[in-house]
Structure 1
Amino acid sequence: MTGEGHLDGEVMPGGMANAGAVVRHGDIVERPAPPHAAALHAHLVALAAQGFDGVPVPLGITGSGRRERLSYVPGDVAVPPHPPWAWTDDALRSVGGLLRRLHSASAGLPLDAAAGWSAELADPQGAGAAGALLCHNDVCLENVVFRDGRAAALIDFDHAAPGRPLWDVAMAARYWVPMSGRDGLDRAHRLRVLADGYGLERADRAALPGVIEEATGVCRAFVERRVASGDPTYAKALDAGGGWGRWDRHQAWLADRRDELTTALLAG
């Protein structure tokens, strides 16, 4: 970046909210800074001190606070159109394992509940939930870096906020299973693979389908706010994806298949 608002370097693909605004300069990535950037950078440093190497290294925030600098995380990211390898069981299982490692490291850190974390995709139970930690909340395909076919790192913590670890698993399931459907994929099987990769305990397995339904409602409200504000990116994506009728059908499918999904999660 040669000046505030003047970008050069390699524009990074992927993402909706910051499309075209994330730029790589060699080993450094510059991107719009979320309001909680200072607290987030401290958290990323603390994660590294805990031995978790699956996050970028924070390198600073511009004087105006508008942009942040992070280390570039090398590897492969499944940007649209998503490649076939992103939908393999091995890839999915490794996403569960990476998320578990993140949560294990985060559980040992103090939770700054007053840091101004994003409320957009946050667990409604927040910091008051039992076992609450700082969740990523947006473990979509574009935010996971793979190396040698395995999930190795997470990027883009813009929506990080306190919540239940299970909330983060439910959010990840929405993208990676995916709960909204994809031709040729067995969603009940894939949900089990994700849970196995994470090492989800039995009680959380029983609760997961209901939490996915709750998370889907939060995600719908997020899209509604973006569309109502006139955001053209989200309005276009909504129209291309079948409008609100598709959301209605998806939410009805989740409710209808709750028992089937629970049975798959608890089998064996």
Structure 2
Amino acid sequence: MKTHSIAGPARRRWTVAASALGLGALVLLPACSDSAASPAAAGTPSSTSTSTANATQTACAAALASDWVNIPGIDPDGPPASAAELAAWATPLQPHITALRAGVPADLTSKVDTLATAVQGATEGKPVPTEDASLQAALTAVNAWAHDSCGYTTLDVTNSDGTGLAGVPATLPAGPVAMKFANTGTDPAKAGFILLLGKVRDGQTATAADVQSRKVNLEDIADIVAVAQPTGTDPAYGLTTLRPGRYIVSTPVGPPPEFATILATGFEVS
């Protein structure tokens, strides 16, 4: 399988991964009580502000801590996920959904609930409906919030005319990164289909130029750590943690499955 084709399992895998975010199934709503009527329980404005900031921090950490790429059964050409595999993926996400829902703005709680429903099903052995449009919308909304609100390093990548990727620096610091990818041109034939962020494996010498010239397949030399697939002119988002090493950012351009070309560029993390 070559990078310029990205057909079959690879194309579908990263397409679906970018379109679905699974979150834990346990949603804990704030309890109702008479304590809200008490000034002491309500807290001062400063304590309320601190509490909100702490909840946001915890929600950001919860969004970052989980693996939304390797959902069991995401490869449509592979074997279906077993109930045990689905439960093993979903169960560790349960505490994260509580933290996420408690820390996002009120207008995002319904998005978290949508995602939580899918993961609840996974804990019961039900396949994750990764191509459901509501999951795609929820993923975009949650990751866009994290990009704008968590204070993480941002990697904002744009493709305007299908000839190169802008916004990728030579170096980035290790740690959390919020990725954003947008096509800013007007010609759909020159739009990037999906952005892949890969950490080049130790011992590999291939470069971004090798990926762009189609000498190598990105997935053969790097571990994909984040994906982002735009819808039309709307940007897409992804979260990951950068560790020291060499990274390549790449997108196939044009309609699948063959694509017109590949764009790729790289950066270092030390």
TM > 0.5 fold call: no
TM-score normalised by L of structure 1 = 0.27
Q: Which has the higher contact order (CA 8 A, sep 6+)?
A: 2
TM-score normalised by L of structure 2 = 0.27
Question: Higher strand share goes to which structure?
Answer: 2
